[in-house]
Structure 1
Amino acid sequence: MNQAKPFSQACENNQSFILDILSPLLSPDQRVLEVGSGTGQHAVYFSANMPAVQWQCSDRRENLDGINAWLNDAELDNLAPPLALDARDVDWPQPAFDAIYSANTLHIMSWHEVELLFTHLRKSLKETGLLCVYGPFNYHGEYTSPSNAGFDQWLKQRNPQSGIRDFEAVNTLAEKIGLVLQADHAMPANNRLLVWQSQAA
């Protein structure tokens, strides 16, 4: 592997499990927007394993060079150059996407940014679209494991506005933009993969 590329061991560990769930949900020629692509590893792995799906990654501008390093090495026809995108941006990409995917982002953002994100998602998601979000969540205000409690403490020491989000609060944001929860998948390392679909579907 090119040592100049950023690397996430968590991405390496979870990508096959996420693919098992995403792959049956996505049809050939559908377009997916990945919000918060991070290193770009998920984008490359999913695009390579779903060659008929058009994948559009995005992240804050400072992360684009690292993503491009992965994309340039992969040379995949179904993987577009990354977009500079932030939850605080006013303009979000058009036309709408068939699905939006995001992994390990909500606990990094402030809650205000999470609220902004869901407002923007509606602009970029087709009326029959899917929203798939991966990461740790609390349920009924409780941690699902001691490791998640420790992780949340670490997050808040770095930035008091970040932290593991309550599933119920996030689901309320999704419902406000016309999405209905279709599945809540338990994943390795005390994570979840939540899948919502537009009511129009």
Structure 2
Amino acid sequence: MPQDDLHHRDPRQLAPATQRNREPILAVLRQVLPHQGLVLEVASGSGEHAVHFAGAFPDLSFQPSDPDPAALASIDAWARTSTLPNLRPAIRLDTMAPRWPVTQADAILCINMIHISPWAATEGLIRHAAELLPAGGPLYLYGPYRQHDVPLAASNAVFDDSLRRRNPKWGLRELEAVAELARAAGFGEPQVTPMPANNLSVVFRKL
């Protein structure tokens, strides 16, 4: 590829699932997020969710993050097209790192990460969220889960198998295991909302 094409290539990524799930997620977030403060989004991916939510909540500041340089470039490219004053530049954040580049947040969002990462990433997410959030602060998780006494949807079973084939450390997590991890870190019981395409919105609040 010529150097000029590389220089002018649009770094914005497109995540088709974002177009389908952002409005259902937004409906839940309207009941969950505080009226003011800082919302940290972990594993922001393409950045499309960050732009959409920042536009919907002008009184909140949104801090997108991701460990992947290509994702960071995409997030900032989407931000440039939106010119939203409450959307901060993306920062590199790995949930498994011993320290995060953020010291406080009033709410934390993590969408579609837990099943596409090692279990250690979930452990780091919940541990650091407990350190950053104030009492009552929400940790919002979205994605597919396994649940005790609830049959796994056929589409989720196929998805889970495909994830484990890609990486044995990936796969749908037991919601009960995530809830136990959260309880041990100082969160209350999860508030669970069924979502389209066999996903769940899961909200933990810091005690």
State the TM-score, normalizing by the size of structure 2. 0.90
Partner of 1:81: helix, strand, or coil?
A: coil
- Residue identity over aligned pairs, in percent, reads 37
2:195 corresponds to 1:194: no
Q: Distance in 2 between matches of 1:19 and 1:7?
A: 19
**Matched-pair contact (CA < 8 Å) for 2:12–2:74:** yes
Task: Name the residue aligned to 1:117.
Answer: 125
Task: Name the residue aligned to 2:58.
Answer: 51
Instruction: Summarize deviations over 1:157-179 as a string: whole Å, max 9, x none.
Output: 11010000000000001101111
Partner of 2:106: helix, strand, or coil?
A: strand
Residue 93 of structure 1: how far off its partner (Å): 3.5
Q: Which runs of 5+ in 2 are unaligned?
A: 1-8
**Matched-pair contact (CA < 8 Å) for 2:179–2:190:** no
**Matched-pair contact (CA < 8 Å) for 2:145–2:200:** yes
Task: Name the residue aligned to 2:140.
Answer: 132
2:27 corresponds to 1:20: yes
**Matched-pair contact (CA < 8 Å) for 1:144–1:190:** no
Structure 2 letter corresponding to 1:23: R
**Matched-pair contact (CA < 8 Å) for 2:34–2:106:** no
Q: Which runs of 4+ in 1 moved over 3 A?
A: none
Q: Distance in 2 between matches of 1:125 and 1:80?
A: 19
Residue 128 of structure 1: how far off its partner (Å): 2.7
**Matched-pair contact (CA < 8 Å) for 2:130–2:187:** no
Q: Which runs of 5+ in 1 are unaligned?
A: none
User: How many pairs does the alignment contain?
Assistant: 198
1:134-149 equivalences under 5 Å are 134-140=142-148, 144-149=152-157
Instruction: Summarize deviations over 1:69-122 as a string: whole Å, max 9, x none.
Output: 111111101110111000221211443211101000000111122212221222
Instruction: Summarize deviations over 1:45-75 as a string: whole Å, max 9, x none.
Output: 0111111111111101422111111111111
Deviates more, 1:35-44 or 1:85-94: 85-94
Instruction: Summarize deviations over 1:138-194 as a string: whole Å, max 9, x none.
Output: 011865300000000000111010000000000001101111125100000000000
State the TM-score, normalizing by the size of structure 1. 0.93
Structure 2 letter corresponding to 1:44: V
Residue 27 of structure 1: how far off its partner (Å): 3.0
Q: Distance in 2 between matches of 1:143 and 1:44?
A: 35
Task: Name the residue aligned to 1:180.
Answer: 188
More strand by share: 1
